[in-house]
Amino acid sequence: MGTHLCYICLPSLVRSEVLIIMGNKIKKRPARYIAQGAIIAAVYAVMTIMQNLLVPGSASMAVQFRISEVITIFALFTPAAVPGLTSGCIIANISSVPALGPFDMIFGSLASLCAALAMRALRKIRLFKLPVLSALMPAVMNGIIVGFEIDFFFVNSFYFDFTDFLIQGGLVAAGELAVLFVLGLPLYYVIERNISKRGIKL
C-alpha cells in the first residue's frame, strides 16, 4: 500500500512508465526515457537558477546568456529531451515569477517546447557534418516567442510594437545563438564522437 501510494505521488515524468494516448493506442514509455527526461529537466533547472543567483538577471533578461540552453543539444540524441527541456524551463522560470510574473514561465516554456520539437525534426540535416539548422531553432523560437513576450508585456505594457519586437527578439536570439554555437555545437561533436566510438545506444 505504501509503495503504491509513493508511486502515485511521483510526477509522471519520473515514473517508471508513462501511458501516452495516441489516437486509439496506448504507448508505454520505458524507464530509460523517463529517467533521461527527468535528468535533463533537473540539470536545466539547476543550471538556470544557479546562474541567476550568481549573476542576477543574466539568465532571465532580454540580453541574456543562459548557459543551460547548451543542453538543448540533447534533443538531437533523445526524444526524452523534449519533455525534459520543457519541464526544466517551467521549473527554472518559476523562480522569476516574483519579478516577471507568470509570463516568462508560460512563453519561455512554450519557446523551449517548440525549439526542442523543431530540433528533433531537423536533427538529420547536416552542414559541415554538424546539425547547424537544428542549433538555430532555439534562437528562432525564443526570438519570436520571448521577443513578443518582452515587447508586449514589459516594454509596451500590453501593446505590440513591431520595431520593439524586432529589437527584443533580436537580443534574445543573439544570446541563444552565442550559447548554441559557442558551446552547444562543440558539445554535440564531443557527445556524438563518443557515442560512435563506444557504440552507445541512447
Q: Per the domain annotation, does 149 fall within a domain?
A: yes
What is the dihedral angle through the alpha carbons of 114, 116, 117, 118, rounded to the nearest 10 degrees? 80
* pLDDT score of 201: 59
User: Measured in whole angstroms, how far is the alpha carbon of residue 194 from the centre of its chain?
Assistant: 23
Lowest mean pLDDT of 64-68, 121-125, 137-141, name the range: 64-68
Q: Per the domain annotation, does 151 fall within a domain?
A: yes
Q: Per the domain annotation, does 18 fall within a domain?
A: no
Q: 112 is written with which cell numbers?
A: 523551449
Helix 81-94 with 31-54: angle, nearest 10 deg: 30
Residue 121: is its pLDDT beyond 80? yes
Fill in the amino acid letter for 117: L
Q: Per the domain annotation, does 105 fall within a domain?
A: yes
The whole model's pTM is what? 0.81
Q: Which residue has the higher pLDDT, 27 or 110?
A: 110
What's the domain count of the chain?
A: 1
Q: Using CA atoms, how far apart are residues 125 and 122, in angstroms rounded to an integer?
A: 6
The domain in which residue 97 lies consists of 36-195
Residue 44: is its pLDDT beyond 50? yes
Q: Per the domain annotation, does 3 fall within a domain?
A: no
Q: Per the domain annotation, does 20 fall within a domain?
A: no
* pLDDT score of 49: 92
Q: Specify the residue for cell string 489516437.
A: 23
